[in-house]
């Protein structure tokens, strides 16, 4: 039984590695993208289908870094109802996320007790912007929520079907009334 489980696991990971990279222009939703977890494992965002998803570009040395506390408490409050928060480290703003994935994971776990999924560090702005963020910031894909990421801790909220619901700029905290109302509304659909 154990050998079968290990075989399935290894085949699943191998199959995920064979998935071709999607271009932002071809994407229809966040479910079309696969990121790497903070531990380097392929993580298709389609695994979160049926959940309300809050994607947040994060950094460890930013004035907004204490938002990890509010992100974790929001996750704890709503995860049983179907919310998943996905932290996506990026070093695009003033070098505020210089660490390795291992260092980021250690920092988030020890300092903020982060238990929500964390992805590997990517670029969310510039010529090397990851395809997911090309999609999220595209004005043609989403005229209402598109636009360049201005700083760390920009938040994108998606309903249970991967449809964009809201975008919150960095100064809007995860536990603010407007974010809570948007999460509550998305969870109730």
DSSP state of 47: G
Distance CA 105, CA 99 (A): 9
Q: How far is the C-alpha of 83 from the C-alpha of 121, rounded, in Å?
A: 22
Residues 6+ apart with CB under 8 A from 188: none
Sheet with 164-168, strands from edge to edge, namely: 83-89, 52-58, 155-158, 164-168
Distance CA 103, CA 35 (A): 18
Catalytic residue among 22, 62, 165, 180: 62
Catalytic (active site) residue 62: yes
If one counts every other C-beta atom within 10 angstroms of the C-beta of residue 84, the result is 19
**Active-site amino acid positions:** 62
């Amino acid at each position: 039984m154990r050998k079968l489980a290990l075989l399935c696991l290894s085949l699943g990971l191998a199959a995920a590695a064979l998935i071709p990279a999607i271009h932002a222009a071809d994407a229809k939703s966040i479910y079309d993208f696969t990121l790497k977890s903070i531990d380097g494992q392929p993580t298709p965002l389609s695994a979160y289908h049926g959940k309300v998803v809050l994607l947040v570009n994060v950094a460890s040395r930013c004035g907004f870094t204490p938002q990890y506390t509010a992100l974790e408490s929001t996750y704890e409050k709503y995860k049983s109802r179907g919310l998943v928060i996905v932290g996506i480290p990026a070093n695009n703003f003033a070098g505020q996320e210089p660490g390795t994935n291992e260092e980021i994971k250690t920092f988030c776990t020890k300092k903020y007790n982060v238990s929500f999924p964390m992805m590997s560090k990517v670029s969310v702005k510039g010529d090397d912007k990851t395809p997911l963020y090309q999609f999220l910031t595209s004005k043609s894909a989403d005229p209402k929520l598109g636009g360049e990421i201005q700083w760390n801790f920009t938040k994108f909220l998606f309903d249970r079907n991967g449809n964009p619901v809201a975008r919150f700029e960095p100064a809007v905290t995860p536990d603010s009334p407007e974010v809570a109302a948007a999460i509550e509304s998305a969870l109730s659909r």
